[in-house]
Amino acid sequence: MPKVSIDLDMVLVTNQEFVKKAEDCMPELHETMVKPAALVDIVKTDAVYPQVKQKDSVENLSNYHLAKGDKICLDFGDHQVGYVTLKVNSVGSPQDAPAFLRLKFGEIAKEMTENSADYDGWISRGWIQEEYIHVDILPAELKLPRRYAFRYMEIEAIDTSLKWQLVVEDVTCISVSAASMDEVKHIESEDEMVRSLDRVSLRTLMNCMQSVFEDGPKRDRRLWLGDLRLQALTNYVTFRNFDLVKRCLYLFAGQTRDDGLVSACLFTEPKFIVDDTFLLDYSMFFGAALLDYYKASGDMETLRDLSKCAYRQMEIVKEQFDEKNLLVNGEGFWAFIDWTEGLDKQAAMQGVYIFCTKKVQQIAEILGDKEKATELSAEAETKAEAARKYLWDKETGLFVSGSDRQISYASQVWLILAGAVSSEEGIQILDKVKELNPEKGMVSPYMNHHYVEALLLCGKKEEAMDYMKYYWGGMISSGADTFWELYNPKNPAESPYGNSIVNSYCHAWSCTPAYLLRKYF
């Protein structure tokens, strides 16, 4: 569990002009009416992921007369994000007691076999998509007020009475997204796995594109900067919704800490406010995301408006280096990088700093700010030199991190992406780290994305493709319709939250195969 510190004294500064520009880019959501595709049984086996067995046609839905304890499970055929309405009725004697129902929604079948009462994790159980409802008078139309992210929906009659049973006559979902599949061309390939990687990535991204780029429509349903950067990159080559990215960038710059630091995430409901979580890598990615947006859209006005905010992030982090020009490890949950337990983030963060400095340098160059560009270029070089001098371990031929000289994938990947080594050196590093297989591996698709980018940067195209098929393909083989927040092939039940019931199974930062396939293959 990351140490969470709540800073109630934090002073926020709002730029109303930026907030207004963000509001002007508020998307209109596409709505699609979706009906369940079938009635299914979800059967637990010895395997991690249960089996889904077709049970009946949905045409026969109202033939199921549910008495106390009976349940049915509906399969909506694909991952949905939307609002559900049910029509329920009674059969038998007059309804002499309230209908007492439990509704449960799951993004993947495994969630349907998990019991919310067993949840013992450290984030809110409120994220579990489950409702207990009393209906006094039947027939009734139940319009559920929450938005759910799901493919499966279970309806359990917790109780009726001895004299009547519950009938579900109809269920519909109005699925919502700022994007539409009609706007995108799927990848054509002879290879079925490549087509699946693309299809599942697109669905993941589409379902996370709401009034902002959400990290996950089940959880946490908010805008995170690290996730945004990868979603935006994928969006530019697929749905091409530039305004949604513009909106998100203006929101981040629209409210910052009083020293100008950009928050890691923000809320737009009930009103716009940034969160008191600050992750230095995410703050620095503001500049990288801004440059990517400009390159994709050509929107010079936004680049100009937001460049100061991008510069500011680098200035703030610049203060955190020691006399050797190494970034000092922060306290608690100070940087993200990955959810790998016990990961020392110093070396990876040194890489992120160099990477982002170079991106922000490009912004300065585009804006003709020569002095800033020269300063940033020198800064990137100094920090890369320090990494080569102090973080390089001659014996193993790998980068080390922190006072314990920890070896991890993350350190190698980020220092390669930062260009702290040549691509020939990068090839050797990537081969060595794979051979060494350090205990500190990678668990989030976010970190795995950066690993694949490092392979591609070093020209290891075939290995990158094989890895995508192994990693994201592993989720597909486990039944994924959308890619997950966390996937560790070596430990499928892993969760950063102490229990996987609250894991998100449509998580934006995992949508990047659609980007990688289009950009590099």
Cα separations (Å) of 91 from 124, 156, 171, 459?
A: 38, 16, 18, 66
Site string for ligand RAM, 490-509 (x = CB under 6 A): -------------------x
Instruction: Output the smallest distance, CB 475 to ligand RAM, in A.
Output: 16
Instruction: Output the smallest distance, CB 446 to ligand RAM, in A.
Output: 7
Cα separations (Å) of 19 from 15, 26, 214, 252?
A: 6, 11, 18, 9
CB under 6 A: which stretch of 4-12, 62-70, 171-179, 219-227 binds ligand RAM? 219-227
What 3-state DSSP class applies to 33?
strand
What does the alpha-carbon distance between residue 481 and residue 152 come to, in Å, rounded to a whole number? 12
If one asks whether residue 336 binds ligand RAM (CB under 6 A), the answer comes out as: yes
Instruction: Output the smallest distance, CB 357 to ligand RAM, in A.
Output: 22
Yes or no: say if 90 and 110 are a contact pair by the CB < 8 Å rule.
no
If one asks whether residue 107 binds ligand RAM (CB under 6 A), the answer comes out as: no
What residue number has its CB nearest to ligand RAM? Answer: 215
Q: Which is nearer to ligand RAM, 223 or 314 (CB)?
A: 223
Size of the site for ligand RAM (CB under 6 A): 8
DSSP secondary structure string, 108-156?
Answer: SHHHHTS-GGG---SS-GGGS-EEEEEESSSSEEEE--S-EEEEEEEEE
Nearest-CA neighbor of 511 among 455, 472, 454? 472
Q: Which is nearer to ligand RAM, 76 or 278 (CB)?
A: 278
DSSP secondary structure string, 171-232?
Answer: EEEEEEESS-GGG-PPPP-S-HHHHHHHHHHHHHHHHHBSSSB-S-TTTT-SEEHHHHHHHH
Q: Which is nearer to ligand RAM, 220 or 292 (CB)?
A: 220
Q: Which helix (H) or strand (E) segment is 272 a member of?
A: none
If one asks whether residue 227 binds ligand RAM (CB under 6 A), the answer comes out as: yes
What does the alpha-carbon distance between residue 115 and residue 334 come to, in Å, rounded to a whole number? 33
Q: Which is nearer to ligand RAM, 111 or 485 (CB)?
A: 485
Q: State which of residues 226, 254, 351, 426 lies at the interface with ligand RAM (CB under 6 A).
A: 226
If one asks whether residue 148 binds ligand RAM (CB under 6 A), the answer comes out as: no
Q: Which is nearer to ligand RAM, 154 or 215 (CB)?
A: 215
Yes or no: say if 482 and 204 are a contact pair by the CB < 8 Å rule.
yes
Q: Which is nearer to ligand RAM, 164 or 224 (CB)?
A: 224
If one asks whether residue 111 binds ligand RAM (CB under 6 A), the answer comes out as: no
What does the alpha-carbon distance between residue 29 and residue 180 come to, in Å, rounded to a whole number? 9
Q: Which is nearer to ligand RAM, 376 or 502 (CB)?
A: 502
CB under 6 A: which stretch of 110-118, 221-229, 388-396, 426-434 binds ligand RAM? 221-229
Q: Which helix (H) or strand (E) segment is 357 a member of?
A: helix 346-366
If one asks whether residue 338 binds ligand RAM (CB under 6 A), the answer comes out as: no
Which amino acid is present at 423?
A: S
Instruction: Output the smallest distance, CB 1 to ligand RAM, in A.
Output: 12
Instruction: Output the smallest distance, CB 503 to ligand RAM, in A.
Output: 9
If one asks whether residue 513 binds ligand RAM (CB under 6 A), the answer comes out as: no
What does the alpha-carbon distance between residue 39 and residue 56 come to, in Å, rounded to a whole number? 5
Instruction: Output the smallest distance, CB 51 to ligand RAM, in A.
Output: 28
Instruction: Output the smallest distance, CB 377 to ligand RAM, in A.
Output: 29
Q: Which is nearer to ligand RAM, 379 or 485 (CB)?
A: 485
DSSP secondary structure string, 399-468?
Answer: E-BTTTTB-BHHHHHHHHHTTSS-HHHHHHHHHHHHHH--SB---SHHHHHHHHHHHHHTT-HHHHHHHH
CB under 6 A: which stretch of 146-154, 218-226, 248-256, 318-326 binds ligand RAM? 218-226
Strand partners, 130: 104
Yes or no: say if 257 and 240 are a contact pair by the CB < 8 Å rule.
no
Q: Which is nearer to ligand RAM, 148 or 224 (CB)?
A: 224
Buried b (16+ CB within 10 A) or exposed e, 169-192: eebbbbbbbbbeeeebeebeeeee
Q: State which of residues 215, 292, 338, 344 lies at the interface with ligand RAM (CB under 6 A).
A: 215
If one asks whether residue 121 binds ligand RAM (CB under 6 A), the answer comes out as: no
Instruction: Output the smallest distance, CB 236 to ligand RAM, in A.
Output: 20
If one asks whether residue 198 binds ligand RAM (CB under 6 A), the answer comes out as: no
Beta strands at 273-274 and 265-267: parallel, antiparallel or unpaired: antiparallel
CB under 6 A: which stretch of 84-92, 220-228, 290-298, 452-460 binds ligand RAM? 220-228
Binding positions for ligand RAM, 405-424, rule CB under 6 A: none
Angle ∠(369,371,375) on CA atoms, nearest 5: 120
Q: State which of residues 105, 127, 224, 294 lies at the interface with ligand RAM (CB under 6 A).
A: 224
If one asks whether residue 485 binds ligand RAM (CB under 6 A), the answer comes out as: yes
Instruction: Output the smallest distance, CB 516 to ligand RAM, in A.
Output: 19
- What the block records as the tokens of 451 is 């690993």
Q: Which residues bind ligand RAM (CB under 6 A)?
A: 215, 220, 224, 226-227, 336, 485, 509
